[in-house]
Each structure stands twice: as structure tokens, then as C-alpha cells.
Structure 1
Amino acid sequence: MREFLDENTGGDEESGIDLTPMLDVVFIMLIFFIVTASFVKESGFDVNRPPNTQQPPKDDEVKNILVNVAADGQLFINRRPVDAAALVPNIKRLYAENPKGAVVIQAEDDSKNERLITVMDAARKAGVYNVSIASN
């Protein structure tokens, strides 16, 4: 039988595996995964960021009173150094200029809690009851 095959095929051809059906299956699987992947909804939430503008805030916008408590106990109102005794009058003045604003206290990690309580008490004495604490 071998002699018959060698005479008809010439005997020079090597026999091999036909990979065409396997490639067809792989392409069909690839198409299937591409189509199903486009319908997958990723979980999460949308973030609406404000537009990035370099313009100063408008006059009718609410301006908060920012009080920083440094690690060494020094106090700053809107980045200006302030003595603890002058805290109440300064907060009263800034709150009178913008009554919709709030007092935001930003304390450094190494600052004392005593200073934080002092600023909160000063805001209450100034008549501001909208006090927030911000973290670094």
C-alpha cells in the first residue's frame, strides 16, 4: 500500500496537520469575546468635576473663613497670622462681610487639641455656628 501512495503522490510531500479549522474556532471565539465585552457595564460612580478656571471667585460667591492651626500652636486666618486674643473680633468682622460663609478649621497633624477647641469656642462666641473641621 505504501508503494501505491508513494507512486501517486511523488513521495516528496510531507504529511502535516491542517490548522485551518482550529484558526476558524479561535477567530469565532475572539469575535464572541469582543462583542460580549462591549455590553459589560463597569461598576462605579461618575465624578462631576468643576471646570478648571483661573478666574478669581465672584463677589456673590460664599467665601469661607479659613482658620489654620499650626503644629507650634500659631493661628492663621485666611493665611494671615493672628493672636488667639484677636480671634473672636476677626471672625466677627469676616462673618459680617459674608454671613453665608462658614468657619473652616484646618489643623496640622502635630497640633494640639487645645488650640482646636480654642478656635471652635472663638467661632461660637463670634456668633458663627457653621463650623467645619478639614483634614490635610
Structure 2
Amino acid sequence: MIKLRKRQIKPTVSLIDLAPMTDMVFQVLLFFIISSSFVVEPGIKVNLPKSQTSELQVQQKLIITVDKSQQIFVGNKVVPIEQLEERIKFLLPYYQDKMVVIRADETVPHGLVVKIMDISKTAGAQKLAIATEKKE
């Protein structure tokens, strides 16, 4: 009878190269970091009143800020209330929505905010909004 020899199979160690996968994960992470949009608020510090229905405002609107010392800012420039209508009339055509967002400190008198709203409407604003912070 013929003796059959069993072939000895050497166990092979298979390694998976993780370098390409690491590169892909890094590229996907980099893509999300670069493509994500960051909302940056204008640089004037105000304490906005709290609201449960607050939403982030897109920067495509003309933003008027009133700080606690009742200084009025259009963009980052201080504008006296006497020149506010003229400034709004000049800037409003550059904004598609013709929307004015008023960011007033919570300590600013209500009357001043209403006066700014009136001036904005007179200057041609089609929409008005008051910025608030979401209650936590």
C-alpha cells in the first residue's frame, strides 16, 4: 500500500495594512472641518434678552447693535442716531432681504429700540427682527 504523506501547511500570518485607511479617515475629517460653516457674531459685546424661540441669524442681514451705553453700531462703526437713517439707506441695497436685525442689550430702553425700528422702516427696510439668545 502506498503511504500518503500529509502535507504540512505552514500557517501564514496575514497582516492588513492600515496606512491607506488612516489616510482616508484623515481626509474625511479634514473635509468636514474645512466645509463646516462657523457662525461668527459681530465683535460688539451685548447681553441679549433671552427667548425660547431664538434662532441663529445668517449674516446676510443688516445688523444694528445697541450696547448698554446706548451707542448704536452699524457693522462695527458707531453711528449717531441722527445719521442712522442715512447710513441704513446707503447700506440696505447691498442686502437681498432688505432685512434689519436689531441686537440691543437687554438694559437698553424699549423706546430706543422702537425708534431704531421706525428709522429702519423709514429707510426702506422690508423686514425687521430683534436678536435674542436662546434660554437654557
Q: TM-score, normalised by structure 1?
A: 0.53
Change (3 A) 1:62 1:70: closer
**Amino acid in the other structure paired with 2:36:** N
Whether 1:132 aligns to 2:129 is yes
Residue pair 2:89, 2:123 contacting (<8 A) in 1 also? yes
Structure label with greater radius of gyration: 1
Query: Within the alignment, does 1:90 sit opposite 2:74 as a pair?
Result: no
Task: For 1:52, give the aligned amino acid.
Answer: S
The count of corresponding residues between Structure 1 and Structure 2 is 82
Instruction: Write out per-residue CA displacement over residues 36-77 of structure 1, whole angstroms, 9 at most, x where no aligned residue.
Output: xxxxxxxxxxxxxxx5247xxxxxx97211001111111001
The answer on whether the counterparts of 2:98 and 2:126 sit within 8 Å (CA) in structure 1 is no
Whole-Å Cα distance in 2 between the matches of residues 134 and 82 of structure 1?
A: 19
Letter in 2 for 1:115: L
Equivalent in the alignment of 2:69: 72
* Secondary structure of the structure 2 residue equivalent to 1:132: strand
> Relative CO higher for 1 or 2, CA cutoff 8 Å, sep ≥ 6?
2
- Superposed CA RMSD: 2.5
Superposition map of 1:5-16 within 5 A: none
Equivalents in 1 of 2:62, 2:36: separation in Å?
A: 23
Kept in 1, the 8 Å contact 2:97–2:126? The answer is: no
